[in-house]
Amino acid sequence: MANNFFLVGASIISLIAVLCAGCLGPNPEKPMTPPQLPTLITSLGNGGQHANVERIVVEANNRFALSLYSNLSKDTQYSDKPLFFSPFSLSSCLALTYEGAKGTTADEIKSVFFFPDNSTQQRLGYEQLYNDQKNSQYILKIVNALWAEKTYPFLPDYINVAQMYYHANTMNQDFKNQPENSRVTINTWVEDQTYNKIKDLIPIGSIDSSTLLVITNAIYFKGMWVKQLDKNETKDDIFTVEPGKTVHVQMMQKIDKNAVFKYTETDNMQVLEMPYATDNNKQVSMLVLLPKMNNLTVVEESLTLDQLSDLRNALISQRVNVMFPKFKLETRYSLPRTLSSMGMPTAFTNQADFSCMDGTRNLHIGDIIHQAFIDVNEEGTEAAAATAVVMKAGASANEPAVPVFRADHPFIFLIQDDDNGIILFMGRVNNPNG
């Protein structure tokens, strides 16, 4: 990668450690390359097939993003902490998990992640999103992989679907005899895919001799602001965390005549879009939702997909005096309790049915761990995230006043692909100092 690009790295790595019996095919001592399936041709409406299926997956991902954000923001465990996660990495990983589920287990995962009824639409939608990553000004890389216990024959259909539609190649591991070496191997892959931004994703002890399968998904984004901010203009300032509590921050600013951004406001919030550099019509940007009167709860409780769409449609390019804090956040979540409360409890119990993976009823999810990092400064954004799903057996005077977008109190932000609307990352900053 060119060194002159400022990094936005984001990796969501999903790990599915399946404990039970075996994986891979007729020759377990060699990595298996599944045969190609015939190309699937289907009619999904009048024209625009790729756009249609992509839109279906984008909407599902974005609905999950807002649903998870809402649940985390109301959880007392996180009420006074920043939030940051990658919904697309999570939904990509759980889409691969969902492909192996059946019955009530599948229905519940589908309801939480809003997957479509039509599996063909889902598969083609993800495939299209994975293919749609090329741009010389920013990098958006999405990769998947299956890490399988070399002695266990998983169903060929599952392996083939993972490879064909999710671009997930399968690599054998000796979980049974060398679980720690396997853990190090997978963690090294995670580090490589995220340019060393996520290290030691899988903790010691998470993989043992009963592990059968680890599913990984990594998403990486690297870019710079279209309108970079001058470091010489960054000043010490005050950020109000909550009434009566403030912290010192480094406040960046863009207030010259070139400070033209897409902007709108409502009774409750100001909305600013800050784009990343691109070389074509495709664009990725950060959308910042800044509450008026420092009332983040009002914004959180009203946030819906329809409202986001209305806000995006209302954005108008105009002069805006922007003051925005440098911030760096690190977050970590264990999600079984949250996802169970959202509607998928069965997957975490012995009643789980992942028989589409191996033809048995022996697998369930033991844990889902999500870790994320973001660093925002004058040049751009650097972000990384990882998920581990562990599966176990069993202005002039005549012009309008220039708006002042002063982000000196808690706000919500999203990193989105403006071309298709998918939310790649989402978070809340209630203290820029972490």
Query: For the stretch 191-222, what's the b/e string if a residue is b when 16 or more beta carbons lie within 10 angstroms of its beta carbon?
Result: bebbbebbeebbeeebbeebbbbbbbbbbbbb
Q: How far are the Cα atoms of 20, 31, 91, 98 from residue 16, in angstroms, in the given order?
A: 12, 18, 14, 12
Structure tokens at 11: 């990796």
Structure tokens at 302: 């009203």
pTM score, whole prediction: 0.85
Please give the domain boundaries of the chain with CATH numbers for all domains: 49-224+328-392 (3.30.497.10), 231-326+397-429 (2.30.39.10)
Q: Which residues touch 394 (CB under 8 Å, ≥6 apart)?
A: 19, 20, 350, 362, 364
H-helix or E-strand spanning residue 180: helix 179-193
- Pure H helices in 5-144: 49-74, 87-98, 103-113, 119-131
Q: Is 256 helix (H, G, I), strand (E, B) or coil?
A: coil
pLDDT, one tens digit for every residue, the chain (434 residues): 444 433 444 444 444 444 333 333 333 333 333 333 333 322 333 345 667 999 999 999 999 999 999 999 999 998 788 999 999 999 999 999 999 999 999 999 999 999 999 999 999 999 999 887 777 788 788 888 888 888 888 899 999 999 999 999 999 999 889 999 998 999 899 888 888 888 888 888 888 888 888 888 887 787 899 999 999 999 999 999 988 899 999 999 999 999 999 999 999 999 999 999 988 777 899 999 999 988 899 999 989 999 999 999 999 999 999 999 999 988 888 899 999 999 999 999 999 999 999 999 988 888 888 888 888 999 999 888 877 777 777 744 455 678 888 898 998 999 999 888 999 999 999 999 87
Q: Is 145 helix (H, G, I), strand (E, B) or coil?
A: strand
